[in-house]
Amino acid sequence: MTVVNLENITKVYAMGSVEVRALDGVSLEISEGDYVCIMGPSGSGKSTLMHIIGCLDRPSSGRYYLCGQDVSQLDSTELAHIRNRRIGFVFQQFNLLPRETVLGNVEIPLMYAGVGGSDRRRIAMDALARVGLGDRMHHRPAEISGGQKQRAAIARALVNNPSLILADEPTGNLDTRTGSDILAILDGLNAEGCTIVLVSHDRSVAERARRILHLRDGSVERLEHLRAEEPAERGAESNGHS
């Protein structure tokens, strides 16, 4: 099943009289269980593309089908609903709300989904356990390490069982060791069937993915296949391939 289908997406910013073409005719198809890394120099449009895939932003032109649904036609409330149910964001800056506890942060998407009380708490705790953060859930973000923050952010991204996890340079603010722990969690999630799109500058990070999308000046320079595409619809079966 195709999760993401981008057809000729452009994103143009008008900066006074000058037009900035942040994205210029990008087409991309991502199927369920895929693991795509977007690479490219700074300013090439990686984040812009992630925002469009994540329904935070709308393309200036082109069509975007998310799980078969034409997203370009939806209003802001419907987009919010899609972000809530189908998308899980992981940011470079973690973006945990400082006043909430770790558990409180993970509960936010559930709160906007209308999940209440004890269910919400239980699901959020399960998600935290899944990323190995069961023992820090009552701490505030300021009281935990960068790696732990990113785990919390991943738990928050996971908590509504999204169709797609979008991670924009999730290891950008972490040292190599902690970064590889985080990437291992993402690998594990992909192995369990999660569809993941990752942005990275780092070739060694990108090679964990199945495919690498090379962007340059807003256009697709090259789509590189690293591993045979093996839809992971039945869960973990990625072992034995190279």
Ligand X SMILES: Nc1ncnc2c1ncn2[C@@H]1O[C@H](COP(=O)(O)OP(=O)(O)OP(=O)(O)O)[C@@H](O)[C@H]1O
- Can you say whether the dihedral through the CA atoms of 186, 191, 194, 196 is positive or negative? positive
Quick check: 170 binds another protein (CB under 8 A)? no
In the complex, residue closest to Mg ion by CB:
47
Q: From 119, 171, 123, 126, select the one nearest 150 (Cα to Cα).
A: 171
Residue nearer to ligand X on the CB measure, 5 or 48 = 48
Closest to ligand X by CB, 14 vs 228, is 14
- Provide the β-strand partners of residue 222: 214
Tell me how far, at minimum, the Cβ of 201 lies from Mg ion, in Å: 10
Q: Which is nearer to another protein, 172 or 237 (CB)?
A: 172
Measured between alpha carbons, how far is 228 from 242 in angstroms, rounded to an integer? Answer: 8
Binding site partner of 42, from another protein, Mg ion, ligand X, none, Cβ cut-off 5-8 A by kind? ligand X
Q: Which of 60, 37, 58, 57 is closest to 168 using CA atoms? A: 37
Q: Which residue in 77, 118, 239, 242 binds another protein (CB under 8 A)?
A: 77
| Beta bridge mates, 26 | 9
Question: Which residue from 40, 54, 59, 147 is in contact with another protein, where contact means CB under 8 A?
Answer: 54
Q: Which of 9, 10, 36, 48 binds ligand X (CB under 6 A)?
A: 48
The DSSP annotation for 142-166 comes to GGS-HHHHHHHHHHHHHTT--SEEE
Per DSSP (E only), the strands in 115-218 are 164-168, 195-199, 211-216
112 binds another protein (CB under 8 A): yes
Using CB under 8 A, list all residues that contact another protein: 51, 54, 56-57, 76-77, 80-81, 83-85, 89, 91, 95, 97, 99, 108-109, 111-114, 116, 156, 160
